[in-house]
Amino acid sequence: AQSVTQLDSHVSVSEGTPVLLRCNYSSSYSPSLFWYVQHPNKGLQLLLKYTSAATLVKGINGFEAEFKKSETSFHLTKPSAHMSDAAEYFCVVSVRIYNQGGKLIFGQGTELSVKP
Amino acid sequence: DGGITQSPKYLFRKEGQNVTLSCEQNLNHDAMYWYRQDPGQGLRLIYYSQIVNDFQKGDIAEGYSVSREKKESFPLTVTSAQKNPTAFYLCASSLTELYSNQPQHFGDGTRLSIL
C-alpha cells in the first residue's frame, strides 16, 4: 500500500538558518512526489514536484528536495529560512490506481515556525 | 488570472440543515476534487470528478453529495447526515486525472462550523 510519513509534526528554526522537513514514502511503483505549502486559512500551493527526472528538484522560494530511492525519502530543504516561510508543509505522493487515474495521498503536515 | 474560487469563505450550519459549498475554476481543467481538512489529519478526499457529468466517491463520502453539470463548477453539499461537519473544506483541480504526475491546484477553502 502507498503511504507518506512526515517525521516531524513541528519544526522550529531561527531566521537565516537552514530548514529541513523530513518525508518518507512507501510506494509499490515509481512514485510522483510533491511538496505543498499552506499558509493559515489558505489553500495549498505547490512548492515542487518529482516525476522521475532529476533526483534533486528545485522549487519556488528557494526550496529544494532530493529524491532518494534507497532511503524512500523526499526531504525538503532551504539554506536560509525567512520569516515568511512560517506555514504548514505537506509531503504528497501520487499513486496510479487502475482505471481510476492518479490519486494524491497526503502526509499529516509539518508546521514550520521561524523565530526572529 | 486563472484559478479556483471557493465561496463562501465562512459558513455556519444549523442542525438538520443542508449547506452547499461553491467551487468554480477557470483553468480549463478536466478533473476536480473536494477535500476535508481537520487539524493534525492532513487532507482527506471526499469526492472527485474526472469529467463533466461523472464523479466518484473518495475516502470519506458519507454525508456529502456533489454534482458536475459544468466543467467549471463542482459544488459540494454537506447534508444533515454528516454528523461532524465542522472542518476546513478545500476544492482542487488538475488538468487531467489520467496521469499520476499532475499537480493539483487549490482554492482558498471554506471553513464550515456548526451553530
Residues 6+ apart with CB under 8 A from A69: none
State the nearest Cα–Cα gap between B9 and chain A, in angstroms.
9
What confidence score (pLDDT) does residue B105 get?
93
Measured between CB atoms, which of B41, B98, B103 is closest to A108? B41
Tell the residue number behind the cell numbers 482542487, with chain if given: B92
Judge whether residue B1 has pLDDT over 70: no
Judge whether residue B87 has pLDDT over 70: yes
Which backbone phi and psi does B42 adopt, to 5 degrees? 65, -155
**Taking the alpha carbons of A24, B107, A39, A66 in that order, is the dihedral positive or negative?**
positive
Helix (H, G, I), strand (E, B), or coil: what is residue B61? coil
Answer for the pair B76, B91: CB distance below 8 angstroms, yes or no.
yes
Which backbone phi and psi does A34 adopt, to 5 degrees? -135, 155
State the nearest Cα–Cα gap between B51 and chain A, in angstroms.
12
Q: Which amino acid is at B68?
A: R
Asked if A31 lies within 8 A of B100 by C-beta distance, the reply is yes
More confident residue, B2 or A91: A91
Q: Tell me if chain B has a CB within 8 Å of the CB of A95.
A: yes
Judge whether residue A15 has pLDDT over 80: yes
Asked if B43 lies within 8 A of A106 by C-beta distance, the reply is yes
pLDDT (tens digit, 9 = 90+) per residue, A64-91? 999 998 999 999 999 999 999 999 999 9
Half-sphere exposure of A19 (CA within 13 A, CB side): 30
